[in-house]
Structure 1
């Protein structure tokens, strides 16, 4: 029996000590590789960098906090909105008479920002303030007052433990272009080289339209052209900003049109039946958008009442646009060149808030349905409107009839959207958790987070690389074992010399 076992050991290579060592070592190596791979690819606690942008608009200021992975080379990680805070009170341009207050009102939101950014990141976090159409109008009316407001907000922001990068007045073209960048960046269209989405922005004092057109190369109207090279792709963007055509200033212009003769009372089709209020001529005409139209010899105030007629309101709104002059192949209004709208569009800011009030943002409603909805609302008596919307502040509620009518007229009559192309507009508030608007695009530009060329990357992701290496090593070990076993068997079959 013992001789049989000895003979089996001699014939079977698994009984040879050196074979056992090799196989055992291979198994240990395989286990080690698996353990290393698992540990290496375990999810780690993400480290972030932060950036803060203050959107100083005409009607209010909003503070946005953005974050992106700190481990990415050249800060090319995806930036996302982590926090936002709306500053109480009107926009900073409203504090021209007391500029110190423009800075003070920012403190509450900036204290929130401190809490939402880890303390160890404070000193490296850039803070930018961008002012738009409200401050552009103030700068036109009183440049020294504009400078005082900027000085006040800068003094306040410098008291916080961040890297303050200054406050500046954005041009309308920048506002439109950065809004386009934001929408397409958040939708991952830029990095993947997909067909881009146009951007429609409507604020209180200005409105912007920006899109890429196959027929626009910048030669016909160079002033409306912005060229970007992003992630290795070239974009020739058409963009234009219309100052005074935000919804609040447009309302002033509509009232100015109806009060050109200085009447003591007007019946306004853009306000509800039963609405009535006394308004001051001096307050109405204190904006550069209408100041040169103030009627001479007008009384101190006028009685403003509503008729609630959508069609007549559209007629009033159309008087705000000049369609008679165009020296180009195509124009929107006021002699401004615009190629024919094409592709998909994202409409945000006041576009979204207005259409959301009418419950017209959840799907693509036909243009006729939209007009009918707004017309019914305008015709509803003011007392009934207040009863139906108890949670809406009256200062906003009273303006929705005009805002809805103006928005539709701007899109169809001015920007030339048809019943068919209107269906390509999506009214958006957020994209993947971040607000649509110019602020993210502005920060991405200032921090150079979107490279002109696509970042270099290895052919395989790291996890894929580790998995392939592991599989190859396992195969090699198996082959080695098979070779050793085959060698042992061949040796056992050799005739023994006695």
Structure 2
């Protein structure tokens, strides 16, 4: 009788052990590897399959739209972070379109916040910095209107589960925009961490344009205006750059000036603009800063290119400084530099390519004379835009033979200032 009793005890223990093993395995399988419990601090990291990750969310509030970049970084204490993944979404119009009714921008911001929430594990929300930086669109607004928009966004950010501070929502200084773009490009090319030379960055937006590069000649640093030279820490290295943002010299603002318009709405005045930079038989409408202008070409007189060149040179006279040494630096060029090269079919829209100053100039002469083979439905502003770009580049100190690299992405990552600004902000959190 003892044997059956003993066998029963062993059977009972076996069943109990099997049950405990089942519970343990089920619990382990039901918890995703990349999630860990409890609240996290700003220095916390998410681990998956032996890798360490951090996240950053950057809102780019531009003049024509608001874009969100959600970055996932693979961290290594001995090296710089590696960008592991980017999620990108965009909505229109830009924040400045809600200047008179700031509360109406909320729906779009909440829509983009939802994209961020769905892209980041909930366990990392409280440690993920959430930042919005507005660019030229808000810089050009009256201060009070811009502030109301920023306050609306700030309240939405504070209600979100992400890491948001007093400085999380701001208007980006044009110089910081240039520096952040420079960081992005050199991070993606690998030049930010190497011992070799870095590349320069040219950006032509709608309201402003930036130039940023790292001088190799001490004379450039000594002879440049003091506010054109900036030094900053990034990944345990100090970088010194020549950088300047020209507010009001972005392509759309420059168009208005060249056409003879004013940034301020006309008080009972005419919104009709007549310009030699437009085709002589052209008449149409153009909207800028919520004002719709009637734009017309000037009746045929002197050759269009020469007449337009004269207008552009007057607008740019004395407003741009030649950057010594820039002609010897390799540069990437972005935004409208890229778009107009695509219009001319000089580069592939998806792949990018290279362009020289003389290509812009030669194309301007062809387009303005009406002999261009560029796209049949080309913009009536193409002559004006190309003349402006070619003159601007020469005023910045680039010779006709200077070649620029044009790219929308590098290693499949968008070449905007957002990545560099995210790194810059995360660096600032280390000092808290």
Compute the TM-score of the two structures, normalised by the length of structure 2. Answer: 0.74
* Counterparts of residues 468-479 of structure 1 (less than 5 Å): none
- Offset of 1:432 from its aligned partner? 1.3
* Counterparts of residues 68-467 of structure 1 (less than 5 Å): 68-70=73-75, 72-73=76-77, 76-80=80-84, 82-89=86-93, 91-138=94-141, 142-165=142-165, 166-213=168-215, 214=217, 215-218=219-222, 220-231=224-235, 233-256=237-260, 267-277=274-284, 304-305=296-297, 309-323=304-318, 333-334=319-320, 336=321, 338-341=323-326, 342-361=328-347, 362-380=352-370, 388=377, 397-412=379-394, 414-420=395-401, 422-423=402-403, 425-448=404-427
> Residue 70 of structure 2: SS of its match in structure 1?
strand
**Alpha-carbon distance in 2 for matches of 1:252, 1:434:** 32
> Residue 194 of structure 1: SS of its match in structure 2?
coil
Asked if structure 2 preserves the Cα contact closer than 8 Å seen for 1:172 and 1:241, the reply is yes
> Residue 200 of structure 1: SS of its match in structure 2?
strand
Asked if structure 1 preserves the Cα contact closer than 8 Å seen for 2:126 and 2:163, the reply is yes
> Residue 184 of structure 1: SS of its match in structure 2?
helix
Q: Which one has the bigger strand percentage?
A: 2
Gap regions ≥5 residues in structure 1: 1-42, 288-299, 324-332, 390-396, 453-498
**Alpha-carbon distance in 2 for matches of 1:246, 1:359:** 22
**Alpha-carbon distance in 2 for matches of 1:376, 1:173:** 35
Q: Match for residue 29 of structure 1?
A: none
- Offset of 1:304 from its aligned partner? 2.0
Q: Match for residue 12 of structure 2?
A: none
**Alpha-carbon distance in 2 for matches of 1:285, 1:230:** 36
Distance 1:146 1:272, change over 3 A: same
- Offset of 1:119 from its aligned partner? 3.0
Which deviations, in whole Å up to 9, do the C-alpha atoms of 1:57-89 show, x marking residues without a partner? 12222111111115x238942135511111122
Which deviations, in whole Å up to 9, do the C-alpha atoms of 1:370-394 show, x marking residues without a partner? 3333443444499x988646xxxxx
Asked if structure 1 preserves the Cα contact closer than 8 Å seen for 2:343 and 2:374, the reply is no
Which deviations, in whole Å up to 9, do the C-alpha atoms of 1:189-208 show, x marking residues without a partner? 12112201111111111111
Asked if structure 1 preserves the Cα contact closer than 8 Å seen for 2:56 and 2:128, the reply is yes
- Offset of 1:286 from its aligned partner? 8.5
Asked if structure 2 preserves the Cα contact closer than 8 Å seen for 1:309 and 1:378, the reply is yes
| Higher RCO structure (Cα 8 Å, ≥6 apart) | 1
Distance 1:411 1:274, change over 3 A: same
> Residue 411 of structure 1: SS of its match in structure 2?
helix
Aligned match for 1:58, one of 54, 58, 63: 63
> Residue 164 of structure 1: SS of its match in structure 2?
coil
- Offset of 1:238 from its aligned partner? 0.8
**Alpha-carbon distance in 2 for matches of 1:143, 1:252:** 22
- Offset of 1:93 from its aligned partner? 1.9
Gap regions ≥5 residues in structure 2: 1-47
Asked if structure 1 preserves the Cα contact closer than 8 Å seen for 2:344 and 2:375, the reply is no
Distance 1:443 1:44, change over 3 A: same
The structure number with the bigger radius of gyration is: 1
**Alpha-carbon distance in 2 for matches of 1:276, 1:173:** 38
Distance 1:113 1:403, change over 3 A: farther
Compute the TM-score of the two structures, normalised by the length of structure 1. Answer: 0.65
- Offset of 1:351 from its aligned partner? 1.8
**Alpha-carbon distance in 2 for matches of 1:161, 1:148:** 22
